[in-house]
Amino acid sequence: MKRNRWQITIIFLSFFMLANMAFAADNPTNEELYEMIQELKAEKKEDADKTSESASLSSEFEDSYLKFKSADGNFEYKLDGRIMLDTGAVQNSNEDNDLYTNTEFRRLRLALKTTMYGKWKGEFDLDFAEKEVDLKDLWVSYIGFPNTEIKAGNQKPHFSLNEVTSSRNAVFMETSMVTDSFSTGRRIGISASNWGKHYFAGASLFGDEVAVNPSDENQSEGHGYSARLVGRPYVSDDCATVLHFGLNYLRHEPMSDEPDDEFRYNSRSEAHFVDYKFLKHDKIENTKDVQTYGLELTAKLGKAQFQTEYMKSKINSTDSGKSPEFDGWYAYVSYFLTDDQRLYNLSDAEFGGVRPKGKYGAFEVALRYSTLNLNDQSVWADDLDDNGGEAKNITAALNWYINNNLMLKINYIHVDNDEFANGNGDFEGDDDLDIIGTRLQFVF
């Protein structure tokens, strides 16, 4: 029995000594522990340096913007400012209409545009013109999917090439009459777009303007939706040559602050500083919705560009016989006298800015014809006040892009108003206008 106990003790001690030797073999010495700690410190410092490098923002001036961007490109802040000073003169053919011009700041805009984590974008844009603060773009978007943007907030619905083109990149001082009248402007809503080299598709769902409160008239918020589909049969790799055509659809209800669901179109003469709306039809009550169809076509060949759009709109009223239809179109050509051209943006299917190459900047000439017909004699017969009138405009433009940030624009506009173009009875009709306008534009 004693012999068995000694055997068990010897076996146990043997296992203990072997385990202790194995542990001692794997256990690092003090020098090895020190080296391991130093390696961990170095790895931690390297990770911290990478994080600090990606998080720190470097400033640069690019494409007329002041940008602050992280080294990895995942974070970016961009300042967008616009100062547009307009003035001019007007002469009309009817002495019974006293017309005056106004020197004005057409736009005083300041915006902050951001990119966060490489997948989120946002914009906060204010306009200080006309002695008040006007909220423009205020939205956030997700860009994590390839060639796709999903946006929510105050924004322009996807509709019309002329409408979605930024004012800082416009060829003429103002958009065409038909675009200005039939487009909704910015609305609170959501939108989505997807694009490739040969196509663009966008859709929007929206409500009222940001300043409209439905409770003011005890009505529910008006809603609408739009879609824009663009095909690009030919696009060169540098976008110097582009052939682009598109289809547009817009359906919306009157805004909720309109009593009795009233709606009507009106338009200036493509000069904001001549603040008279000769085209204005009688209000349509009990409006169910407004539907507008549009076609767009543009071609760019280096220094030359052609663009045109046609739109047809119908105001649908629940009152019998009170659903007028209107239409209008414009077409223009532009050409750079210098070795310059206008940029084209595939992701938005619109034209961008001009980056002058020469010492004395870039010079561009352009000519536009536009028309808008707000008459519907099937609804109002020959009533001079109820019909909204028709205008046919010719605009000649000379643009001097002094540098990426400073521009001088000169527009001459001849307006041919018909006898119904009397501002819903505010003016004498058949008054033709000759307008000369200038704009000093500074963007930063």
- According to the model, what pLDDT value does residue 15 have? 47
Distance (Å, whole) CA 154 – CA 126: 12
Confidence (pTM) = 0.86
Q: Which residues pair with 193 in a beta bridge?
A: 149, 202
User: Smallest Cα–Cα separation from 420: which of 379, 394, 386, 372?
Assistant: 386
8 Å CB contact between 151 and 192: yes
Instruction: Look up residue 253 and give its two tokens.
Output: 């209800």
pLDDT tens profile 298-332? 999 999 999 999 999 999 999 988 999 999 999 99
8 Å CB contact between 262 and 288: no
pLDDT tens profile 413-439? 999 999 999 999 999 999 999 999 999
Distance (Å, whole) CA 171 – CA 330: 13
- According to the model, what pLDDT value does residue 6 have? 47
Residue 245: helix, strand or coil by DSSP? Answer: strand
- According to the model, what pLDDT value does residue 400 have? 98
Say which residues have a Cβ less than 8 Å from residue 405's Cβ, sequence separation at least 6: 64, 442, 443, 444
8 Å CB contact between 80 and 113: yes
Distance (Å, whole) CA 45 – CA 104: 57
- According to the model, what pLDDT value does residue 412 have? 98
Instruction: Report which secondary-structure segment, H or E, holds 11.
Output: helix 2-26
Tell me the H-state helices in 147-299: 161-164, 177-182
- According to the model, what pLDDT value does residue 103 have? 96
Distance (Å, whole) CA 135 – CA 125: 6
- According to the model, what pLDDT value does residue 28 have? 60
Instruction: Look up residue 223 and give its two tokens.
Output: 């809603």
Q: What is the DSSP string of 122-173?
A: EEEEEE--TTS-EEEEEEEEE--STTEEEEEEEE--S--HHHHS-GGG-SSS
- Show pLDDT as tens, one digit a residue, over the chain (444 residues): 444 554 554 444 454 444 444 444 455 666 766 777 777 777 766 665 555 555 577 877 777 778 899 988 899 999 999 999 999 999 999 999 999 999 999 999 999 999 999 999 999 999 999 888 999 999 999 999 999 999 999 999 999 999 999 999 999 999 999 999 999 999 999 999 999 999 999 999 999 999 888 776 677 888 999 999 999 999 999 999 999 999 999 999 998 888 888 999 999 999 999 999 999 999 999 999 999 999 999 999 999 999 999 999 999 999 988 999 999 999 999 999 999 999 999 999 999 999 999 999 999 999 999 999 999 999 999 999 999 999 999 999 999 999 999 999 999 999 999 999 999 999 999 999 999 999 999 998
- According to the model, what pLDDT value does residue 211 have? 87
